[in-house]
Amino acid sequence: MTRGLPELRAAIDAELEGWLSETLRGTAPIAEPIRYAVLAKGKRIRPLLFVGAWEAAGGVAGPRAGNGARGLHRVALGPELVHTYSLIHDDLPCMDDDDLRRGRPTVHVRYGERAAVMTGAALLPLAIRAVAEGAARLKLPDPVASRLIGVLTGAAGGDGMVGGQLLDLLAEKQSVSFETLERIHLGKTARLIAACCTMGGVAARAPEDTVDRLTRFGIAVGLAFQTVDDILDVTGSSSRMGKIGGRDEALGKATTPSILGLEGARARAEELGCEALGEISPLAGADRLREIGCLVLERDR
């Protein structure tokens, strides 16, 4: 029987904690802030999307898949580690200067700015290591493992998350078009989310048209995720979200509500959700992806 999302999230968390305990042995003092950042209670949307995309692409953990589910969950840690690194750096005083993340003090508040910078930097090689180890557990051929790493690092770099974060900073207190805003959102959020879906298809060794369909689903979900994030910064409570609300307006951020208004932003999120679900409608095993897509649209934190 397929695990529900809470059970799958718990399994990924268990893999994450166990792997960090093993991997970080002997790496003091960096181990403590890494564990603090990574093991904070999060939604784990990105690893969930990876597993959901793998299932939608026809992935099956059988005898030929080596250690099966554990290998799959190990690969899934890669995008989560990259995401956590982005949050640590995003919260720094030179970036968005946030004091609260996932319901507790940010890494630079807890450990200092230097430790926060180094912690974020340490997570990228850890992410690559997790993907490589998971691919080996799944007994994936070297070209497939290399492609998984390439997809993840490509989405994290200058054409993806890092580049999008810089565009976001440069757009502060500027008047930008909706097209520019979506380019920012595509880079800083959607490309990494789409990479999770692409990686799921690649790990399942699916046909290229299926991988492309999963990628398009991920782009739409990623844009919807950021749009909902923008809405929640206006309407959500800090206690529910685990971070301080109203920061976008205080920093002069370009956001979907600031350009389209709240109702326009909600309509855009719904449009993107329909687009995403349409992409995976032909895939027989996409029930989990549909559930995650609905979760993204309906979340309150």
258-268 pLDDT per residue, tens: 999 999 999 99
At 299 the pLDDT is 81
At 296 the pLDDT is 87
Determine what percent of the chain is predicted with pLDDT higher than 70: 93
Q: Which residue has the tokens 């003090």?
A: 105
| Global pTM value | 0.92
C-alpha–C-alpha distance, residues 193 and 153, integer Å: 12
At 70 the pLDDT is 87
Q: Is the pLDDT of residue 210 over 90?
A: yes
Contact criterion met (CB below 8 Å) for 131 and 202: no
Q: Which residue has the tokens 């389209």?
A: 260
Domains of the chain: 5-298 (1.10.600.10)
At 245 the pLDDT is 66
> Which of 6, 5, 40, 34 has its CA nearest to residue 22?
34
Average pLDDT over residues 195-217: 97
At 271 the pLDDT is 96
Average pLDDT over residues 102-126: 95
Mean pLDDT over each residue of the chain, to the nearest integer: 91
Band (pLDDT 50/70/90 cuts) for residue 139 is very high
21-80 pLDDT per residue, tens: 999 988 889 999 999 999 998 899 999 999 999 999 998 754 344 457 889 999 999 999
> Which of 89, 3, 79, 91 has its CA nearest to residue 45?
79
268-295 pLDDT per residue, tens: 999 999 999 999 999 999 999 999 988 8
Give the lowest-confidence range in 12-26, 183-197, 240-254.
Answer: 240-254
Contact criterion met (CB below 8 Å) for 117 and 89: yes
E strand map for 21-111: 100-101, 104-105
Average pLDDT over residues 155-176: 93
125 vs 28, more confident: 125
242 vs 258, more confident: 258
At 28 the pLDDT is 83
Band (pLDDT 50/70/90 cuts) for residue 237 is low
At 155 the pLDDT is 97
Residues linked to residue 101 through DSSP beta bridges, in sequence order: 104
**Cα-based distances in Å from 31 to 22, 72, 119:** 11, 24, 9
